[in-house]
Amino acid sequence: MNLSQKFQMLFLSILSMVILFGCSRTRIIDKISIIHVFGFDQAKNGEIIGTALSPEYTKSKDSSQIKYIEEQAITPALILPKMAEQTSTPVEIAKIRILVFGKDLAESGIRRMVDRFIIIPQLGTHIQIAVSTHSARETLRTFKKEKSLTLADRIEHNMVSQNLPKMNLHYFLNDFYGEGMDAYVPMLTIDEKNTIKIDGIGVFKDDKFKLHLTPEQTFLFSILKDYRNQATFKIDFNEKESKEFLMVRAFRSTPHWDWDPNKKQLNLRLELAWTLVQHPDRFNPGNSEDLKVLKKIVVEKLETGLVELFNTLKENKVDPVGIGNIVRSQNRTWDKESFYKQYPTLPIKVDVNFQIIHTGLDN
């Protein structure tokens, strides 16, 4: 056998190995149940109800079906083995994109879920966690009817171009276990069209779901948490018969926090560089006086909204903004217990510096 023939034999051997490995990998994918969406509810007897959505690749060559799986167990760790009894293939959780908690379970506390399931190594920290206003079971059944497994993508889209702040398991665990802050997650609901809708954010106190922020409150919250944001903010005018409104789009938000130890007051100076998208015909943004009026309207609306948001958070004794952590970073004598006793009455002064960097095409 000459050198050329040896190279040909070596090439054919390598090619055969590549083909075999490729075929082997395809068979493995076809023989496991890859869960994309996992839901948890609390049963009446205190046990955990687990629900899951998984694509069934073997049903069709051209398209995948979605399989709904439901099981109940005394602990989250036992749910997966019981689910595997319903499938003809092993259940794989490494590809989970989103975990959904039913509201009742979230209100009763999710610590055992976090300690015994969420922090297992198989789950990546990029996955999403959400709370539904309905049960997770009903939410997953409704989502299955949409014939899609893109719920996590829908949430992430709302973080990029809508009013949600950046969230995932990494952010959640940092806030959940951190000091001087509370965890928050996206809220899901089922609308009148029987489709899944993103509905603001939900805030936890320790491990219990405590407060549901409206979409407008969520927008205001997001500009405190994210430097860049593309969400739009609509301001309706107060005139009774007028349907005029002003619309701005967020671009850059920079909060500056300052703790005044003498007054025991937290000062927020919020610098905003936004785009004016739409305005009433009677205003001309090219006119400096009109522009000044428009900016004043936006500033007053934002300052009022932020003060009301802070009051809502303080009344419910939740701290998703991380006020405690902010004060701790500027006060060496900070003590968690004494600070949160004063938190409901903590003065927070808001000063918004609003700049219009571009005007839109509509008026």
pLDDT one-digit tens code per residue, 123-151:
888 999 999 999 999 999 999 988 878 88
pLDDT of residue 60: 46
Amino acid at site 79 = I
Distance CA 294, CA 307 (A): 20
Strand pairing partners for 260?
A: 265
Residue holding tokens 């009433």?
280
Quick one: DSSP state of residue 319? -
- Please give the domain boundaries of the chain with CATH numbers for all domains: 26-213 (no CATH), 214-363 (3.30.300.210)
pLDDT of residue 63: 42
Strand pairing partners for 101?
A: 40, 131
Q: Exposed, middle or buried by CB within 10 Å (0-12, 13-18, 19+), for 51?
A: buried
Distance CA 75, CA 48 (A): 6
pLDDT of residue 328: 96
Which parts of the chain are beta strand (E)? 33-34, 37-42, 48-56, 65-73, 91-92, 98-102, 128-132, 184-190, 196-205, 208-213, 232-236, 245-260, 265-278, 348-359
Q: Which of 201, 209, 206 is nearest to 178 (CA)?
A: 206
Q: What is the pTM of this model?
A: 0.85
Distance CA 50, CA 68 (A): 11
pLDDT of residue 151: 87
Distance CA 26, CA 313 (A): 51
pLDDT of residue 1: 56
Q: Exposed, middle or buried by CB within 10 Å (0-12, 13-18, 19+), for 45?
A: exposed
pLDDT of residue 185: 97
- Give the up-direction half-sphere exposure of residue 219: CA atoms within 13 A in the CB hemisphere: 18
pLDDT of residue 363: 43
Q: Please enumerate in sequence order all residues whose Cβ is within 8 A of that of 134, keeping only pairs 6 or more positions apart, or say none.
A: 102, 103, 142, 188, 189, 190
9 is written with which tokens? Answer: 């034999």
Q: Please enumerate in sequence order all residues whose Cβ is within 8 A of that of 177, keeping only pairs 6 or more positions apart, or say none.
A: none
Write out pLDDT tens, residues 189-220.
999 999 999 999 999 999 999 999 999 999 99
Distance CA 309, CA 291 (A): 27
Residues lower than pLDDT 70 in the chain:
1-32, 57-64, 238-242, 359-363
Distance CA 65, CA 56 (A): 5
Query: Strands 208-213, 232-236: parallel, antiparallel or unpaired by DSSP?
Result: unpaired
pLDDT of residue 279: 84
Q: 3-state DSSP call for residue 186?
A: strand
Task: Please state the three-class secondary structure of 34-103 as a single string.
Answer: ECCEEEEEECCCCCEEEEEEEEEHHHCCCCCEEEEEEEEECCHHHHHHHHHCCCCCCEECCCCCEEEEEH
Rg (CA), the chain: 26
pLDDT of residue 25: 43
Q: Count of CB atoms within 10 A of residue 158's CB?
A: 19
pLDDT of residue 85: 85
pLDDT of residue 18: 45
Distance CA 174, CA 322 (A): 11
